[in-house]
Copies of this chain bind each other. A is one copy, B any other.
Amino acid sequence: MLHGTCYDNLRYLCKHIGNRISGSEHAAKAVKWGEQAMKDAGADKVWLQPVLVPHWVRGKESMQIRYTPTGTYKPVPMLSLGNSVGTGGKVLKADIIMVKRFEELKAMPEESVKGKIVFFNYRFKQDLIQTGEGYGDAVKYRGGGPDAAIAKGAVGVIIRSVSTGADNYPHTGYTHYADSTHTIPAVAIGNLTADSLEKFCNLNTVSVQIQSECKMGTPQYVQSYNVIGEISGTEHPEEIIVVGGHLDSWDIGEGAHDDGTGIVQSMEVIRAFKALGIKPKRTIRAVLFMNEENGLRGGVAYADSALKKQEKHILAVETDAGGFSPRGFAFEISDEKRQKIMQYKSFFLPYGVYSFEKNGGGADISPLKKQDVPQCELLPDQQRYFDVHHTPNDVFENVNHRELKLGAVVLTQLIYLVSEQGL
C-alpha cells in the first residue's frame, strides 16, 4: 500500500501505450514494455513465449437511426462487435425488427425478418447482485445474436450492450459466426440509445444505416508473445505457482480494468517478494497473456508449453475481473485443497477478503485444466466492472489506486502462503 508500483505501471501502460488489441502495433509495444517492467519488478528470469495471434481491425464506423418514417437519420454512438464483418465501408440500410429474446425471433416467420436488421433488446439483469452472473446471462446475445439473425435472413444485427451502465457507452466484445461464408455486420449500442430505440420500435417503423470497415487484417495472423517472469523456488523449484492477467485489450479506451490492472498486479507479486527479500520455497511465475479477448491463443500456448516441458503447476491464479476492492478468491480445486486454503481465511479477513467458497477460474488459465492444475480467480467487488468493460470509458482515471494495490496485496499473500506450504 505504501511502496507498490502497480498504479504507476498502470498509468504508463494506459497513457503511453493505450489500448492494445492482438496483432496491433500497440500490442507489440505492450510486449516490450511488459518485458522491461517484469525485469524492473526483479524477476530472476524473464522471457517471451511466442504466440501467433489473429489480427482484427476496426477501421471507421458509424450508425444513424431514423426513429420515425418522416424523420431524418441521426448518428448514435456504436461499436462493431469484435470479430464482426463490416459493411465494406458501404451504407447498409434497413428497417429494424426488435426482439427481446432468441425465442421470440425463432417464433417469427422468416419473411418478417428477411432483409431487416435484428435489434436484440435484451437487458442486463440489474437485480442480480453478482454482476458476473448478469454478464453470463446477457452475453449470449453478443455471441449468438449474429447466427440467430442469419438463420432468419437478416442483413445485420444490433445488440443492446452487455452493460450495467446508467450511460450511453457502447460495449464491444467477441462475437462469432458458425459459417464463415455467411456473415452479417454486428454492432452494439449503449443503454440510452437502446432505450430510445425500444420506445420508437414500439410506435412505428424505425430504419437504420450502418457503415463499417471492420475486417481481419493483412496479414490475418501476427507473431506475438506472452511475457513471463519468474522467481525460482529454493526448496521445490519444480513446483510452479502461476499468476497472470492478459496484456491485450480491445481496441478502444485504455484497457485499464480489462486487464491492465491484472497485469500490473501480477508483476507486483514478483516485486513484493523481491522488495521484502523473501525467497519463495516454490517457483513463482507471473504471466502477461496475449490474446485473451479474441482467441485465447496466449493461454493455449502457455498450457501447451507446460505440457511439452512436463512442468508441474500446483496452482494457477488469474486476475481479470477489474482492479476493484478484493472480496475473495474463487477456486476450481479439490475439496481437500480448498480446505487447506480455507485454513488461511483469518489472514485475509483484515483485508476485507472473506469469500473462499465460490467456484471459478479464468479464461487464460483454463487450458491448464487438462493437466489438472488447480484454478483460482481473484474476486474483486463487481458493481462497477460492467459499466466500463469493453468501452471507451475503461481508462486509468476509473481505477482507484488503493483498490488496485489492495488486490495486489491479497494476491501476494495467497501466493506466499502456497509457496511456503504447498498445496
Question: A: which residues have CB within 8 A of B?
Answer: 1-2, 7, 126-127, 129, 131, 164, 166, 325, 327, 350-352, 354-355, 381, 383-384, 387, 400-403, 406
Note all chain B residues with C-beta closer than 8 A to A166: 7, 401
Please, how many angstroms separate the alpha-carbon atoms of A383 and B400 in the complex? Answer: 8
Minimal beta-carbon separation of A257 from chain B (angstroms): 13
Please, how many angstroms separate the alpha-carbon atoms of A219 and B326 in the complex? Answer: 49
Given contact pairs A1-B126, A381-B352, A131 touches B402 in the complex (Cβ within 8 A):
yes
A352 touches B325 (CB 8 A): no
Please, how many angstroms separate the alpha-carbon atoms of A2 and B406 in the complex? Answer: 31
Please, how many angstroms separate the alpha-carbon atoms of A384 and B402 in the complex? Answer: 7
For the complex with contacts A325-B325, A384-B402, 9 further pairs of A-B residues with Cβ separation under 8 Å are: A1-B126, A2-B127, A7-B166, A129-B351, A131-B402, A164-B402, A325-B381, A383-B400, A383-B402
Note all chain B residues with C-beta closer than 8 A to A354: 354-355
Q: Which residue of B is nearest A402, CB measured?
A: B383
Please, how many angstroms separate the alpha-carbon atoms of A127 and B405 in the complex? Answer: 10
Note all chain B residues with C-beta closer than 8 A to A129: 1, 350-352, 406
Choose from B126, B327, B351, B355 the contact partner of A402 (Cβ within 8 Å).
Answer: B126
Q: 6 nearest interchain CB pairs?
A: A383-B402, A166-B401, A1-B127, A383-B403, A354-B354, A1-B126
Given contact pairs A7-B166, A354-B354, A383-B325, A2 touches B402 in the complex (Cβ within 8 A):
no
Note all chain B residues with C-beta closer than 8 A to A351: 129
Note all chain B residues with C-beta closer than 8 A to A2: 126-127
Please, how many angstroms separate the alpha-carbon atoms of A401 and B166 in the complex? Answer: 7
9 contacts between A and B (CB under 8 A): A1-B129, A126-B402, A129-B351, A164-B402, A325-B383, A354-B354, A354-B355, A384-B400, A384-B403
Minimal beta-carbon separation of A112 from chain B (angstroms): 31
Please, how many angstroms separate the alpha-carbon atoms of A354 and B7 in the complex? Answer: 28
Q: Which residue of B is nearest A129, CB measured?
A: B351
Please, how many angstroms separate the alpha-carbon atoms of A327 and B126 in the complex? Answer: 19
Note all chain B residues with C-beta closer than 8 A to A381: 325, 352, 381
Please, how many angstroms separate the alpha-carbon atoms of A401 and B164 in the complex? Answer: 9
Please, how many angstroms separate the alpha-carbon atoms of A401 and B124 in the complex? Answer: 14
Note all chain B residues with C-beta closer than 8 A to A387: 400, 402
Minimal beta-carbon separation of A330 from chain B (angstroms): 14
Note all chain B residues with C-beta closer than 8 A to A402: 126, 131, 164, 383-384, 387
Chain B CB count within 10 A is highest, among A126, A327, A381, A383, for A383
Note all chain B residues with C-beta closer than 8 A to A384: 400, 402-403
Note all chain B residues with C-beta closer than 8 A to A352: 129, 327, 381
Minimal beta-carbon separation of A404 from chain B (angstroms): 9
Minimal beta-carbon separation of A234 from chain B (angstroms): 28
Minimal beta-carbon separation of A267 from chain B (angstroms): 19
Q: Which residue of B is nearest A400, CB measured?
A: B384
Please, how many angstroms separate the alpha-carbon atoms of A166 and B127 in the complex? Answer: 33
Please, how many angstroms separate the alpha-carbon atoms of A401 and B384 in the complex? Answer: 9
Q: Which residue of B is nearest A404, CB measured?
A: B383
Note all chain B residues with C-beta closer than 8 A to A327: 352
Note all chain B residues with C-beta closer than 8 A to A126: 1-2, 402
Note all chain B residues with C-beta closer than 8 A to A127: 1-2
